[in-house]
Amino acid sequence: MNKPLRRIALFCGLLVLSLLIRDNWLQYVKADSLKTDALNRRVSIERYAQPRGNIIVDGKAVTGSTETSSSDFKYKRTYTDGAMWAPVTGFASQAFGATQLESIEDGILTGNDDRLFFRNTLDMITGKQKSGGNVVTTLNASAQQAAWNGLKKQGGKGAVVALDPSTGKILALASYPSYDPSSFAGNSTTTDTKAWQKLQKKYDPNDPMLNRALRETYPPGSTFKVVTASAALQNNLYSSADEATDSPLPWTMPGTTTPLKNEGNIPCKNATLRVALQYSCNTVFGKVGADLGNDKMLAEAKKFGFDAEQFTPVRSNASVFSDNMNQSQTALSSIGQYNTAATPLQMAMVASAVANDGKLMKPYMVDKLQSSNLDTISQTEPEEMSQPLSSKNAQILQSMMETVVEKGTGTSAKIPGVTVGGKTGTAQHGVDNSENPYAWFLSYAKNADGSSPVAVAVVIEDDNANRDDISGGGLAAPIAKSVMEAVIDSKK
């Protein structure tokens, strides 16, 4: 073979080798990334080629699928009472992707999860159409409806979270205003895109797509005094609910010339912890925080879940209690002001731990995952997260919170024949506290045997309300009461 032919043969050989290497690279090395690439339309076509599995509440699907006629995506998602359930389900949209449970459990819902391999193989052998599995939630439909109705009737903005203290199961997770995921579940530029755009914050300042129950942090105001009372008991600053505290009136915050004020003429001078919580004395709990110091207050807040994201499995923002604060800053933070901030989920966790004799259970909203034939693929087991306070101190704090409802600021949460503990909060915010405060209420209901079926946190932000009419007891407590009643009634 002459020299030019050898060069051509060598060159052709290199081309064939390069083609083989490239082909194997695409088929074996890059296969998974190409399969999941958002720009690979065939992936989306396959995802919507069959109905998605459903998200289940109390044995009933709150989602569905409907066949389309104007797209190469055969099915699109539908929702029952979509706005009410959106903080739980999230959305699955052909045009805008998926969020929350629809995203986290997408593999189960589409049938593509590796745990469904055996089921899918059987379906392939028998000629049955591939179908997705189900996500069975811990939610209580009656509690969710009560939370949604309460927020909607109030008409401002707000959120509700209800937990089962003994397990950590999320029973209600409501946010208002909300959105209907069905309105943009398809990929039409004339309907779905326009519906999506209308929901964006720049077009709707109420930000209906914000999950306020998990993703908004608020100053917790006086509801944080439950954490401060816990810290006082756990660190032996005080040993009972009824011993006098060292709380002069007026009390000037350390390092300042500024006295910490109480709301009105209330009996806070050297008040007991019980009376201080009953009347919500800023001076008592501010001084408790200053006396304990930043380190001890921070350690107790962290035991309740502050300064860490929570995964339910939907992510919740981290609530905040700061480090490196001086005594006066710690005092303000200990009454839920300064830069202390909490999600409604976090404050429900606080009430839950107290109600569960000091044991905080990890919150979760997925009870189990099922295959299309309803076989259980995985089951969530309750998990202890921490022990913020001893059983003895939790019971002391329960008696204090029950006094708040019996004859304090939380009387509007009373339920006939049921023991209820609670704590109100009115949290200032805005420059120089210029904006309407947030109204908070934490509570739990207790059975005759001492067990607690439900703990609730409610926050209301109402820009249109009369400032003087805003209080946790007035705006938030009635909603908490209705949610607790719904849970109690559903267990009868």
Catalytic site residues?
222
Q: How is residue 148 written in tokens?
A: 């949604």
Q: How is residue 433 written in tokens?
A: 């506290």
Q: How is residue 233 written in tokens?
A: 């008991």
Residue 79 CA: distances (Å) to CA of 89, 121, 177:
9, 29, 17
Contacts of 47 (CB under 8 A, 6+ apart): 110, 112
Q: How far apart are CA 203 and CA 70, in angstroms?
A: 28
Q: How many CA atoms lie within 13 A of 72 on its CB side?
A: 6
Q: How many CB atoms lie within 10 A of CB 394?
A: 22
The candidate with the shortest Cα–Cα distance to 262, out of 225, 298, 234, is: 225
Q: How far apart are CA 7 and CA 28, in angstroms?
A: 31
